[in-house]
């Protein structure tokens, strides 16, 4: 008989996902775990990933639908604001970003304004990442050539993932959210691209709880 304790925090992040994909896999990767809380961190790909972008109105609709599905299965929602990126590295990886009529920061700003205005419990991940340099400094929370050998500028360092986990933990405590069974639902930032699974923010959050 299996007497192992089931995980307290599930990492349900898949690189490249937008809110469209999250809606499609909600039952498989979120609802099936019967979460008490879903940490919903999505929107960077919706607005920035060339060939996969989602119009702002559609993003808003999708996000509200995801929050509604969480409530329908009895889970509370903690929303995460979207972090800034280091644009030179981002454009190196995705040159089409340079052809957008607005900058990456301008494309994400209305998303964060929307998230802050929802009235949901909020973890301000944007402020956490922005508290450190966004460029090529070794102490950036974003992977760069100095701290990881990766000209990335989008994904978190191990230290950045730890800081995001701490932010989520503090938001859970601040808002009195349940912490018995949590699904971290999102994209590559949740998954932890460039990190060991044990270094991802869901894994670090599990250690804090």
Residue 149 placed within a domain: no
Residue-range definition of the domain harbouring residue 162:
9-130+157-208
Say how far apart CA 40 and CA 8 lie, in whole Å. 16
Residue 124 placed within a domain: yes
Say how far apart CA 178 and CA 24 lie, in whole Å. 25
Residue 86 placed within a domain: yes
pLDDT in tens, 57-106: 999 999 999 999 999 999 999 999 999 999 999 999 999 999 999 999 99
Phi (first) and psi of residue 186, to 5 degrees: 180, -150
Name the pLDDT band for 164 (thresholds 50, 70, 90): very high
Number of domains in the chain: 1
Residue 138 placed within a domain: no
Helix, strand, or coil (residue 61): helix
Residue 139 placed within a domain: no
Residue 32 placed within a domain: yes
Name the pLDDT band for 7 (thresholds 50, 70, 90): low
Mean pLDDT value across residues 125-139: 96
Residue 180 placed within a domain: yes
CATH of the domain at 55: 3.40.50.1110
Strands (E), 95-153: 122-123
pTM of the model: 0.94
Pair of tokens at residue 56: 């702002």
What is the per-residue burial (b if ≥16 Cβ within 10 Å, else e) of 15-39?
A: eebbbebbbeebeebbbebebbbbb
Pair of tokens at residue 77: 């929602």
Residue 135 placed within a domain: no
Cβ partners under 8 Å of residue 42, min gap 6: 17, 18, 19, 22, 63, 66, 185, 186, 187
């Amino acid at each position: 008989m299996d007497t192992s304790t089931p995980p307290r925090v599930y990492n349900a992040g898949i690189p490249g996902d937008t809110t469209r994909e999250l809606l499609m896999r909600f039952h498989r990767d979120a609802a099936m775990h019967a979460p008490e809380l879903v940490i919903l961190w999505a929107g960077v790909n919706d607005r920035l990933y060339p060939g996969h972008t989602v119009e702002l109105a559609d993003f808003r609709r999708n996000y509200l639908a995801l929050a509604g599905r969480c409530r329908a299965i009895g889970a509370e929602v903690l929303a995460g604001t979207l972090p800034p990126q280091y644009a030179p590295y981002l454009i190196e990886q995705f040159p089409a970003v340079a052809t957008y009529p607005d900058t990456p920061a301008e494309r994400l700003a209305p998303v964060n304004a929307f998230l802050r205005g929802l009235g949901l419990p909020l973890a301000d991940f944007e402020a956490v990442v922005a508290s450190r340099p966004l460029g090529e400094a070794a102490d950036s929370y974003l992977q760069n050539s100095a701290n990881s050998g990766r000209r990335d500028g989008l994904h978190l360092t191990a230290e950045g993932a730890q800081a995001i986990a701490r932010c989520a933990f503090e938001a859970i405590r601040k808002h009195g959210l349940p912490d018995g069974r949590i699904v971290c639902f999102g994209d590559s930032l949740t998954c932890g691209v460039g990190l060991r699974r044990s270094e991802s923010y869901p894994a670090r959050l599990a250690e804090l709880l």
